Amino acid sequence: MIAPTAGNALLVAVLVAVWAVGWGLFARRAWQLYRYLRLGRDEDRTQRPARRIRDELVVYLGQQKLFKRPYLVRGLAHAFIFWGFAVITIGTVDLFLSGVFGFRVPGTGTALFVWTVDLFAILVIASIALALVRRLFFPPPRMHVALDGYLILGGIAFLMVTLLLFETTGLVAGVAAPGFADPPLARLLHDLWPLGDAASAAVYGAAWWGHLVGVAAFAAYLPQSKHLHIFTTLPNVFFRSQRPRGALDLIDGIEERETLGAGSVRDLSWKQLLDGYTCTECGRCSDQCPALATGKPLDPQRIVLDVRDQLLRQGGRLVLDGSDRGTPPARWSATKVEELWSCTTCGGCVEACPVTIEHIDKIVDMRRWLAMMEGDVPPEAQRALTNIERAGNPWGQPRDARAEWAAGLGVPTSAERPDAEWLYFVGCAASYDRRNQRVARSVVEVLRASGVSFAILGNEETCNGDPARRIGNEYLWQTQARANIETFARYGVRKVIASCPHCFNTIANEYPQLGGSYEVVHTAQLVQRLVTEGRLHFAPGAGASAGAKERVAYHDPCYLGRHNGIYDEPRGVMDVVPGVDRVEVRPHHRERGFCCGAGGGRMWMEEKVGQRVNHRRMDQILAADAATPVTKVASACPFCLIMLDEAAGAKGVQERIKPIDLMELVAARLPEKETATP
């Protein structure tokens, strides 16, 4: 197209001025936001650059996280708008350059380019229409449907319409530049266009100007709105955490620190503040939150937006006055503290977020401040912390009763057998909780049946520290972790088996932060490995009484599944065990598994508000059971087992649907085993 400004210095000056104002406003806001961002604490987010580039390609350009179910159609619509934006931006730059300098961006005249632009223009318009219909008639429950969204959609639609208008009228008016391919859509519309040459030329000019002025206006508006994510997602994905999902951030030199956790926006890292700029308020995190679903005062989206809003509110003040600490995040609203304590750290929100926002880290940072700076922890959680401190377990059971579950089993301790290949780290739940002691005994049976050389620490074992860390007492976690790492070192432990996903996660993913690196396997992984290696055999026909298979539902523990990606191994074990038909708790399974309610230290806190999370989980299991009747629900976590047991009892189904641990399922089918299935 020949630009309407061609040869007219005044018009060129107007165009440059309009863009200068638009992008000037953009730059001013961007600078302000950047300065606010720098209020956050430093954090290195450059490790593993290759992974970061991969994420940029897959998560950002590839829009991978947008396509999760049940958001597939909406996700596709978003991806079309995004890809369309990327392609059409090249065209927009070309328009501007040709308008000012008469210079064409190389490649923009090719048939490939014009076809691509037109194709995306249609896809973008169709996607916008879909988005509008959704907002107007089927507003998603968790989404904040506000004017902002309509303005953005309207703005994009305006740019697309003006694009198609000036392309078409440009063709009609004959202003096509020689040597450039005709836009195919315009060629199609050309024949339908009702106006004559002169009128078309006027429309062409108006649409051309409308488009370019629109871009400038959009540039000015964008950083004032949640649509800022189109710029911030790029760095937000690049700088996403490359720690294992289940690992929290280490507080280094904790004894020398003056502030611990987040007592101000200054104490949140710059990346956590960037998360706030990046949130588009889509509400997918809220959809997954077990606390929100059961009526607790927590909404993960609110956590992120509160960080953003507070930063925007106080940023100006804090930038000017270095001594101004700002308001503690945990005190931003009357309910903030309860919000923070409602989190089970299940990771549903983090898994769901399309732009890789890290909700849990913020919540834990704020909890750290409450727990370590203010000593303000729910009384029951405080009791659990004191118990860990004094007795080495959150229940406050005697330290020297830790190995009583193994009485009479002849399980050697590391002191007795320092040459054992594996250490079985039993964990507090399996050591002290009567129901879970049976699981520990099953583990022993399975390990023995497979000829695995193992030992336990006995009374020398102490809580791995996971509840303390997630409640926010990083110091206690470090104390516990160091104690275990020292004990491991004393016995030369290199390989660790854990039957508890929380022990597994913290030893595998968090102990390396303190110099303790081991090969750690969860029992579900180990059993699968033992079966594959041909070391573990089952009794022929065991468990399959009367030839019928029993149907067992599988419940994904968060710290096995979402936090560690172990979805297939426990399922593999269920599939290889004779006489068991695995049933999935759809749609709340695998990545969308629903928490039992015990994570994040919630095991030791009272749950007074709303429905109990484990009861909701049991409702979901009962719904699956209504479709395919099951007789058991298997989990692979002692806390899930306790929670499911309680829920089954409360719903009066404990006789019909028995909660069990995967290892009990396995142990009951070992050869030469006479006892009935659990």
Partner 1 sequence: MKLLVCIKQTPDSTVRVKVGPGGRSIDESGVTWAIAPYDEYAVEMALERKDADAATTVAVVTVGPPRAKDALRQALAMGADEATLVTGAEAATLEGLGVARALAAVVAEAKPDLVLCGRQSSDDDQGFVGPALAEVLGWPHVAAVTNFTGADGAVDVWKEVEGGHEVWRASGPAVLTVQKSEKEPRYPSLPGIMKAKKKEIPEKDVAALGIEGGAPRLEIVKMEPPAARGGGKILKDGDTRQTAAELVRLLREEAKVL
- List residues binding partner 1 (CB under 8 A): 254-255, 257-258, 260, 371-377, 379, 382, 385-387, 390-391, 396-401, 475
C-alpha to C-alpha distance for 572 and 570, rounded to whole angstroms: 5
Considering only CA atoms, which of 488, 486, 467, 489 is closest in space to residue 477?
467
User: What minimum distance in Å lies between the beta carbon of 371 and partner 1?
Assistant: 7
The DSSP code for 548 is: P
Q: In 3-state terms, what secondary structure has residue 530?
A: helix
Q: 372 or 647: whose CB is closer to partner 1?
A: 372
User: What minimum distance in Å lies between the beta carbon of 396 and partner 1?
Assistant: 4
Sign of the dihedral defined by the CA atoms of residues 614, 618, 619, 620, in that order: positive
Q: 352 or 372: whose CB is closer to partner 1?
A: 372
Q: 351 or 365: whose CB is closer to partner 1?
A: 365
User: What minimum distance in Å lies between the beta carbon of 510 and partner 1?
Assistant: 19
User: What minimum distance in Å lies between the beta carbon of 256 and partner 1?
Assistant: 8
Q: 316 or 398: whose CB is closer to partner 1?
A: 398
C-alpha to C-alpha distance for 232 and 311, rounded to whole angstroms: 16
User: What minimum distance in Å lies between the beta carbon of 406 and partner 1?
Assistant: 17
Q: 205 or 394: whose CB is closer to partner 1?
A: 394
Q: 106 or 379: whose CB is closer to partner 1?
A: 379
C-alpha to C-alpha distance for 445 and 50, rounded to whole angstroms: 44
Sign of the dihedral defined by the CA atoms of residues 583, 584, 585, 586, in that order: negative
Considering only CA atoms, which of 189, 120, 102 is closest in space to residue 156?
120
Which tokens sit at 175? 């202003």
Q: In 3-state terms, what secondary structure has residue 661?
A: strand
What's the Cα-to-Cα distance from 360 to each of 36, 50, 120, 300, rounded to whole Å?
22, 25, 37, 9
Sheet of 658-661: strand order equals 580-584, 550-554, 632-635, 658-661
User: What minimum distance in Å lies between the beta carbon of 465 and partner 1?
Assistant: 15
Residues in CB range of 219: below 8 A, 6 or more apart: 22, 23, 25, 26
Which tokens sit at 178? 């020689």
Q: 404 or 584: whose CB is closer to partner 1?
A: 404
User: What minimum distance in Å lies between the beta carbon of 438 and partner 1?
Assistant: 16
User: What minimum distance in Å lies between the beta carbon of 255 and partner 1?
Assistant: 6
Beta-bridge mates of residue 454: 422
C-alpha to C-alpha distance for 514 and 463, rounded to whole angstroms: 16
Q: 44 or 258: whose CB is closer to partner 1?
A: 258
C-alpha to C-alpha distance for 292 and 299, rounded to whole angstroms: 6
Considering only CA atoms, which of 85, 92, 93 is closest in space to residue 61?
85
Q: 159 or 388: whose CB is closer to partner 1?
A: 388
User: What minimum distance in Å lies between the beta carbon of 250 and partner 1?
Assistant: 15
